[in-house]
Amino acid sequence: MSIFNNIKGKLKKNETKGKITSVKLYWRDTSHSMDGMDISGKVFTVTVPFTNHSDTSELSFLKTTEKRETVTDISTSDPFSIDSIDPKPPVEIKPGEHIDFKISLKAPDYNYNGPLTLRFSAPKNKDDLIDLNINKIVLKSGDKEVNLDDTRYFTNFAKNQIFDISVQMYRILEYKGKVGSIELNEPFKLVKLDTELPFTINDPSSFVVNLSIKGPDFNYSGPLEITFK
C-alpha cells in the first residue's frame, strides 16, 4: 500500500548500546526490509515515510490511488516497545498523500544485535479475525527447558497472521552451542529465520535469533514451544 523509505534514527539518553541489523515493515499481506542502524540510547525515534500512491519507480504497496487508506495501529515486537507515535493512529491517508510517521521506541535493557519489526495495521473483516492467547513461551533443547517470563495476547488477530519472536540464545544454549533445526508446536509454523541453519552461538551475551511465525486460523489459548535441535 505505500512507500517506506529513508528511515532515520534519532537517539536519546545514552543508556543502551546495540545495533538494529534491519528494519522489517509489514502492511496488509506485504512485507519490506530496510537498512538498520546503530542504537546507543534507551529511547530512539524511527521516521517512516508512508505515501499512498503506486509510483512504480519507487517502492509502493498500493495498487491503486483511487481509495483512501487507514493505518489503525503501529506495533513492534520484543525486545522493543512503542513509546509514542506521531501522528497517532488511526490515521487516514488520502490518495497521493504523504505522511511521515515518527515512531519512538524503547530499547531493551541489554545490548541488542538483531532486527526491528514494525507492523502497520489496517481495518479488518471480523470474519477473518481470531483471538490468540500465548500464555507462556517455552524454549527447549535436549533435556533442558526454559519458561520465559513472557505472554502474548492478541485480539483482532488476522487468521494465519505472521508475528515475530526474538530469542536470546544464551537463555537456552551455552556459548559455542550449535543449532541444526528449529521446531514449533502446533498450531504454529516457522516461516522465516533471520540467520541460516545450522548456526553456532558465537556471542556469549547477546546472540539473538528472530523467528517469523505464522499463527493459527482459529482461536487458540496455550503455549508456544520452540525446540532447538
Residue 53: the pLDDT is 63
pLDDT in tens, 69-110: 788 899 998 889 999 999 998 888 877 777 889 999 999 888
Residue 65: the pLDDT is 47
Residue 185: the pLDDT is 97
Residue 192: the pLDDT is 87
Query: 65: closest CA among 54, 76, 56?
Result: 54
Enumerate residues 6+ apart whose C-beta is below 8 A from 190: 182, 183, 184, 211, 212, 213, 214
Q: Would the pTM of this model clear 0.75, i.e. be above it?
A: no
Secondary structure of 99-140 in HEC code, one letter for each residue: EEEEEEEECCCCCEEEEEEEEEECCCCHHHEEEEEEEEEEEE
| Residue with cell string 531493551 | 108
Rounded mean pLDDT of the chain? 82
Residues of the chain with confidence (pLDDT) below 50: 1-14, 55-65
Residue 41: the pLDDT is 82
* Distance between first and last Cα of the chain: 39
Helix, strand, or coil here: 170?
Answer: helix
Residue 7: the pLDDT is 47
